[in-house]
Chain A
């Protein structure tokens, strides 16, 4: 076992963080205030991701054929840590490089690959993920949006909800039903300017313009928009999830914000109390436990092992870490959550309250840990 970074890994991390230091604008904290889903940050990504692409920091882990450099798993991961800790200047484009692109490489037609991959690799593509519906959240397989075959076209009717980035996205990675059950789900790559699509922002605790409802009324798209076969949708999203595995390295920002919170307390002479010091360390322990559980997932992947249950454990731990850090801040620095002097704490808070819900509730992960990792019997 080796818990140290290689010199090469360290050098790569330094290059990425130096790049961010030098290239993020002075008002970046204000832009990053509401998180990667916000309109400001999505717009910002359109100017910043091309810079990342030019410097080789957008898709280094992609194959050279599609604009990458075939860099190893750990580098991809270090890149993700640095980006998230900096507030995620890639905005929603992190989805493109982490899983939408790789999914298209595997399941896309030649035409789809040539149409969509180059703009992603150049940092100029905004996508949204149309999975959740009013009646299908955790139970995603119960989704009802319909894609009805009509000659060489499909006609889509239905509603999506909680869709991030939809306000600015050009393309939706949409799940819709062509038949019954899980095997009746297909993926469609739908241009968002197709007539019949209406997007409405949902005001929320994490800012305005972050999450949306998307209505599909008689939306006609050619069958060339379908990704893979009819009925292959569930397999495709399972592959996408396996590709994503750990999701966002959230503990990295939490850990750095915890340092910033302690620094703030110390600047006020307020870090002498043993109870406060203990709480800070407890939050740090949660961050590092999450970090180690996530690293195990990345390590398995780097060594070419098939996805096991490690990712489910990691996702639970990441939720606890995020909450322990923001709870620490709110309990001992409550004044920092009003006004605009501590935008980073507020930004962290808004990210933390999402952790246990977006991309699958923590309780769903606990179900998976119980069933797959602990081998407990299925419920009634």
Chain B
């Protein structure tokens, strides 16, 4: 039992942190169009060129480093396709393009990252399939803070030579990491706000009604982060379902708190809060949401009726 990063993972996370500090700053300042999201194309390219998306397959980094990276990247106010690239792609075979869009169990409707994606991955109990994209994706307007799209045109699917259950587990871990990171990023933003913003002659963050709710949120996020890292280390289906269920089940209350404590400012497009909370709203419902993750867990730990 050792809950600290090994040396390689520590270096990896330090270098990543430095890149994100720059990029997050940049991303924060270039919110000029006040859009619902900003795709961090520059960050994406730099991470890709520096090989960050391949960490999961490197022995001394592994899925733990990949999951930690997904969490950290998701904290930034800009959005990039990281989760599937960092935790699925290394295990899907050779020559898999990225960015990736992922659909599970033929979920209907618009898909996250489809406008940017160069391939779509479809996960079901029976198979994991891939279709390369070349202009078939159509962007869709959306409430969510992700580039969303639908398929407009024929796709040619290939079945990948992988274990669908293992890929499903990886995807649960990736989603848990991304949702945890998104909530953590939003929490950081709200903490900065309530430390500064004064009402009744004192900072909002000095009121206990505010403090306790944010403190609870922090406990859930941190517990979720550790559950996710454990799942990444052990690649165990029960661990993965538990991590995802835990963070999805708390995302609703956390998202509510984040908006409440920023008042009207949090409803503007000028402030990027929505870039975290409206990613969280999308992720909260992925793979059927917390109840499905919990049912998966119950099946694995306790079996049937």
Contact indicator per residue, chain A 1-26, by CB within 8 Å of chain B (1) or not (0): 11111100100000000000000000
Residues of B within 8 A of A296 (CB): 3, 226
Contact with A along B276-304 (1 / 0, CB 8 A): 00000000000000110111011001101
Residue among B6, B9, B227, B302 having the largest count of chain A Cβ atoms under 10 Å: B302
A163 to B241, CA, bound (A): 42
B242 and A281 contact, CB distance less than 8 A: yes
Report which of A4, A6, A282, A289 forms a contact with B294, defined as CB distance below 8 A: A282
Q: In the complex, are the beta carbons of B219 and A316 less than 8 A apart?
A: yes
Are B202 and A262 in contact (CB-based, < 8 A)?
no
| Assembly CA distance A154 to B180 (angstroms) | 56
Residue of B nearest to A280 (CB): B298
Contact among B194, B203, B222, B295 with A277 in the assembled complex (CB-CB below 8 Å): B295
B109 at interface by CB-CB < 8 Å: no
Is A278 located at the chain interface by the 8 A CB criterion? yes
Which residues of A from 271 to 315 have beta carbons under 8 Å from B?
271-272, 274, 277-278, 280-282, 284-286, 288-290, 292-293, 295-296, 299, 303, 313
Query: In the bound complex, how far is the Cα of B219 from the Cα of A296, in angstroms?
Result: 13
In the assembly, what is the distance between CA of A363 and CA of B226, in Å? 23
Please choose the segment from B71-79, B90-98, B164-172, B208-216 that sits at the chain A interface, where 4 or more of its residues have CB less than 8 A away.
Answer: B208-216
B229 CB, nearest partner CB in chain A, Å = 6
**Judging by beta carbons under 8 Å apart, are A316 and B242 in contact?**
no
| A285 contacts B191, C-beta separation under 8 Å | no
Cβ proximity bits B213-249 to A, threshold 8 Å, 1 near / 0 not: 0111011101110110110011000000110011001
Residues in B neighbouring A5, C-beta threshold 8 A: 1
Does B4 contact A1, Cβ atoms closer than 8 Å? yes
Q: Which of A104-112, A133-141, A207-215, A372-380 contacts B (4 or more CB under 8 A)?
A: A372-380
The reply to whether B3 and A1 form a contact with Cβ atoms under 8 Å apart is: yes
Asked if A278 meets B295 with Cβ closer than 8 Å, knowing A1-B6, A285-B249, the reply is yes
In the bound complex, CA of A67 to CA of B297 (Å) = 44
- Given known A274-B291, A379-B208, contact A266–B246 (CB-CB < 8 A): no
Residue B126 CB within 8 A of the other chain: no
Number of interface residues of A (CB under 8 A): 51
Cβ of B297: which chain A residues have Cβ within 8 Å of it?
A: 281, 284-285
B206 proximal to A (CB < 8 A): yes
A292 to B1, CA, bound (A): 11
Q: Considering only CB atoms, which chain A residue lies closest to B202 in the complex?
A: A380
Q: 1/0 contact trace for A256-275 toward B, CB 8 Å?
A: 00010010001001111010
Q: How far is the CA of A5 from the CA of B233 in the complex (A)?
A: 13
| A336-365 interface code vs B (CB 8 A; 1 in, 0 out) | 000000000000000000000000000100
- Bound together, the chains give a CA A293 to CA B225 distance in angstroms of 10
Q: How many angstroms between the C-alpha atoms of A316 and B220 in the bound complex?
A: 10
Contact assessment for A369 and B219 in the assembled complex, using a CB-CB cutoff below 8 Å: yes
User: In this complex, what residue of A is CB-closest to B225?
Assistant: A292
A192 interfacial by beta-carbon distance below 8 Å: no
User: Are the C-beta atoms of B219 and A293 separated by less than 8 Å?
Assistant: yes
Q: Kindly report which residue of chain A lies nearest to residue B188, judged by CB atoms.
A: A374
With A272-B305, A285-B249, A366-B215 as known contacts, state yes or no: A290 contacts B206, CB within 8 Å: no
Cα distance, A296 to B294, chains bound together (Å)? 24
- State whether A313 touches B222 (Cβ < 8 A): yes
Q: Could you tell me the distance in whole angstroms from the C-beta of B10 to the nearest C-beta in chain A?
A: 10
* Contact call A2/B211, Cβ cutoff below 8 A: no
A278 touches B298 (CB 8 A): yes
**Which residues of chain A have C-beta atoms less than 8 A from B181's C-beta?**
none
Q: Does A116 contact B (CB under 8 A)?
A: no
A74 at the binding interface (Cβ < 8 Å): yes
**Residues of chain A within 8 A of B298, CB atoms compared:** 277-278, 280-281
Contacts of B218 in A (CB 8 A): 313, 369, 373-374
Residues of chain A contacted by B195 (CB below 8 angstroms): 375-377
Q: What residues of chain A lie closer than 8 Å to B202, measured between beta carbons?
A: 377, 379-380
> A29 within 8 Å of B by Cβ?
no
Contact B242–A288 (Cβ < 8 Å):
yes
C-alpha gap A310/B186 in the complex (Å): 21
Min CB gap B215→A, angstroms:
4
Q: A280-B298, A293-B222 are in contact. Are A269 and B227 (CB under 8 A)?
A: no
In the assembled complex, B205 has its CB within 8 A of some CB on chain A: yes
Q: Which of B203, B206, B224 contacts A289 (CB 8 A)?
A: B224
Chain B residues within an 8 Å CB radius of A190: none
Give the shortest distance, in Å, between B193 (CB) and chain A (any CB): 11
Closest Cβ–Cβ distance, residue B161 to chain A (whole Å): 29
- With beta carbons under 8 angstroms apart, the residue of A3, A281, A299 that contacts B230 is A3
Question: B242 is contacted by which of A3, A6, A285, A375 (Cβ under 8 Å)?
Answer: A285
Contacts of B246 in A (CB 8 A): 285-286, 288-289
Residues of B close to A370: CB separation below 8 A: 205, 208, 211-212, 214-215
Identify A269's interface contact among B291, B295, B305, CB under 8 A: B305
Question: Whole-angstrom distance between the alpha carbons of A278 and B9 in the complex?
Answer: 35
Evaluate contact between B294 and A281: CB separation under 8 angstroms: yes
Chain A residues contacting B216 (CB-CB under 8 Å) are 316, 366
Q: Please give the residue numbers on chain B whose beta carbons come within 8 Å of chain A beta carbons, in ascending order.
A: 1-6, 9, 64, 191, 194-195, 202-203, 205-208, 210-212, 214-216, 218-220, 222-224, 226-227, 229-230, 233-234, 241-242, 245-246, 249, 290-291, 293-295, 297-298, 301-302, 304-305
Question: Which 8 A-B pairs rank lowest in CB-CB distance, beginning with the nearest?
Answer: A289-B223, A272-B305, A370-B211, A281-B294, A292-B226, A369-B215, A285-B246, A277-B298
Besides A74-B1, A274-B295, A366-B212, 18 more A-B contacts (Cβ < 8 Å) are A3-B3, A5-B1, A278-B295, A284-B242, A285-B294, A285-B297, A288-B246, A292-B227, A292-B230, A295-B226, A303-B4, A313-B223, A370-B205, A373-B215, A374-B205, A374-B218, A375-B195, A379-B206
Binding site for B on A (CB under 8 A): 1-6, 9, 74, 259, 262, 266, 269-272, 274, 277-278, 280-282, 284-286, 288-290, 292-293, 295-296, 299, 303, 313, 316-317, 320, 363, 366-367, 369-371, 373-380
20 residue pairs of the A-B complex, CB under 8 angstroms, read A3-B233, A271-B305, A274-B291, A277-B302, A278-B291, A278-B295, A281-B295, A282-B245, A284-B301, A288-B246, A289-B224, A292-B230, A313-B218, A316-B216, A316-B219, A367-B208, A369-B218, A374-B214, A375-B191, A379-B208
